[in-house]
Chains A and B, each alone.
Chain A
């Protein structure tokens, strides 16, 4: 490939050179831990990227497959004392893989064209597809098909995919959230709420809960009904130009100077959303706003910790035990580890149980569980083992991908486990508090005032 369209050759060489191959990333890399092959480790992958940048290796099919074998969990970035920007390397390496065309096939091209270039470029289309799946699910077609055994005629991979199809919510975010939600008492901050794509279809209730919690904590919340994809899916799958287009749309829709904060409640999105400045560094029109955008972009846990959570009052609700799984792109991608625990600890009646390897990837990793099902399953089993050991009834985690993955795993293993976003648990506590207050002030039956 000519240097002109080689993302790795064009990358600032110091980013590649930053890795001094000390090996401290190895024990934290889930793929290396499983295979003990250097190629499947961060420093091994970086050595391949560097070989390409140095012109010693072509972007081969094996190289490309290796880049897609990486989870992109970024645990290596937490472990790396040298401060290697693996996220940037990884995105450019996948872009290298795509531009070289070594993985190209008519089916793959069609699939990528449909999802990346069409479906996720306009969320109206995604909502339309979501509505179609909802139709399939609510009309009983899914149950009928599953019951009939017809699905068994499908190849195993497709069958697995069918069973993983998440249940689409009866309402999308725009049906549940008003474009403007005023703060409950005296608005202190004006914030924008990003409703996301998967979150919007499958966990629109989490979006509603987020807005409620924000309003309860003094934020006027702006939630436009029509939003754009943040582009993380594109950036993580080697389509940096599409990611740039979406980043510009976001900045246009949410001018950063109009808000005190721009809120994301999906770790995978948030981690990408905070790096628009790098993505748009060569765009003179957007560069400055992108820097400002990155500063305003806050994960919901981070923002609540910053402004201080108004703790809900204790009610006589029974105690619930909750384990916390750290989404990779929250703890490694955004270095947010204490804040979600603070949020959970603010909930009365909630007992937080720490889990072994809480910051170890669950295998969801964006669309990784779809393209690398074996490794994803192995990681899911490992996660569930630790979840089970806590004996918690609820698992809290701040990313829709992780929620789905762990929900699917729990269902598969008949594990009675509720999976919830921390913000949902907080919203529920506020609702319990409100109900208790109403009951306390309402006249009891037979009582006269």
Chain B
């Protein structure tokens, strides 16, 4: 049932009428997020500019039973911020203030609409470091990062968003506001509820403030690119690096298809004549960086790499990392629809998983580009297809089933960093098992008895 004009009026009374969108031309651009082939029209879009408006909106929604889907910049890759039919899209993009940077406690407090890049920049300005760097960091919001527990290129050494959230303000569906966590490094008072909200994909409550942990900035870094004639050589090199007890901050790989797409876009002179490319970065104390870089170079050469190239300065290193971040979007050069997956396996199973994915692509006669975070076992096999080709889309679906089954069999997970949302909802019960599904359902029911927050996402 469409959102009634009367509701529009009540929303406008809360946020101001300039912050409520209702026309088709305004809503169509909010009918999708960064996920391929999923669209759904919302009932209206509401921009909040102040945390105090959010309890009022949720009370209104709870009272009338209208679904609320929270959205930052809409760059998610699992349909987490995709509207449900006729819902209120609550967009936090205009709540974009950094409220405090505490240099004594190394924390940053901000509103949910601040971009990841703005946080990273603010940290840098203070001589500090906020490591999580999802591919869309230039525009993705911290609220979305926390709700999806986003990863990035530095997960291997620095972890993911969860490792940097010290606290948050949350509004529950009944409008009650609570603070979770604080600036203390140690805090064991009660259940760690903040951890429940991290990665909850907007289903349990609305995050209105985030308290982040910052760390000292590494003194120096070194970026290198190694190329290989075979993909499994690259995988072996990664295993060898890890088993040599080196934890570089980045160990990314691109396959041949992805390399060509990225170079076509970024034009930074990536080597094109290879089957796999490893992007490696080590950071920290200059002596350690020099030693680790030398060791990694040797390991790559021992594994028979074609070439190792060292970035001559930070600017070149940043260009390489930036190019890697564009990989997913760049693959869209190859086909009308690009559907990427997020299967993740323990690092020891990496080479096996990569071979499996290649085999599945052949079996179902699908074009595929693969890239990802080799160092943490997080792969992004991306099918290059056309959503209008129903037969091929069906084969893509089947291929995913096999890939997820294999990931689970190898002790992995169906999503490393993109979330379940809608895209992986069907695969979750098999992965999580009955007991876990029951606990998750009961938790959700307890916090959101009327089911108004992002209904139909993660599980029904």
Contacts and interface: CB of A to CB of B under 8 A. Distances in A.
Given A20-B329, A23-B139, A43 B29 contact: yes
A24 B138 contact: yes
A103 interface: no
Interface string A38-71: 1101011101100100001100101100100000
A138 interface: no
Contacts of A45: 29
B26 interface: yes
A14 interface: yes
Interface in B312-327: 326-327
A83 B326 contact: no
A69 to B, nearest CB: 11
A18 B25 contact: no
Interface in A55-112: 56-57, 60, 62-63, 66, 80-83
A17 interface: yes
B197 interface: no
A22 B75 contact: yes
Nearest to A26: B139
B31 interface: yes
Interface in A218-273: none
B25 A83 contact: no
B111 to A, nearest CB: 13
B302 to A, nearest CB: 34
Nearest to A41: B29
Interface string A13-43: 0100110111110110000000011110101
Contacts of B93: 36
Interface stretch (B32-40, B219-227, B279-287, B403-411): B32-40
Contact of B26 (A27, A36, A39): A39
A43 B73 CA distance: 12
A39 B91 CA distance: 14
A39 B30 CA distance: 8
Contacts of A20: 34, 36, 329, 332, 337-338
Contacts of B136: 22-24
Interface in B1-52: 21, 23-26, 28-34, 36, 47
A62 B262 CA distance: 36
A26 B116 CA distance: 14
Contacts of B75: 22-23
B123 interface: no
A80 B261 CA distance: 12
A22 B24 CA distance: 21
Contact of A60 (B25, B140, B336): B25
B73 A82 contact: no
Nearest to B76: A23
A94 to B, nearest CB: 15
A14 B336 CA distance: 6
Given A17-B336, A18-B332, A82-B332, A24 B29 contact: no
A24 B332 contact: no
Contacts of B139: 23-24, 26-27
A63 B25 contact: yes
Contact of B29 (A18, A47, A56): A47
Contacts of A38: 29-30, 74
B25 A81 contact: no
B336 A37 contact: no
Given A21-B34, A22-B328, A36-B94, A82 B28 contact: no
B59 interface: no
Contact of B25 (A43, A48, A82): A48
B24 A57 contact: yes
B316 to A, nearest CB: 16
Contacts of B140: 23
Given A24-B136, A81-B329, A82-B333, A62 B23 contact: yes
Contacts of A60: 24-25
Nearest to A44: B29
Given A14-B336, A20-B338, A23-B139, A48 B29 contact: yes
A23 B29 contact: no
A82 B328 CA distance: 9
Contacts of B262: 81
14 contacts: A20-B36, A20-B329, A20-B332, A22-B329, A23-B139, A27-B117, A37-B21, A38-B29, A51-B28, A62-B25, A81-B328, A81-B332, A83-B265, A83-B333
Interface of B: 21, 23-26, 28-34, 36, 47, 73-75, 93-94, 115, 117, 136, 138-140, 261-262, 264-266, 326-330, 332-333, 336-338, 386
Query: Which 8 A-B residue pairs are closest in the complex by CB-CB distance?
Result: A44-B29, A82-B332, A38-B29, A81-B329, A81-B326, A81-B330, A23-B75, A17-B336
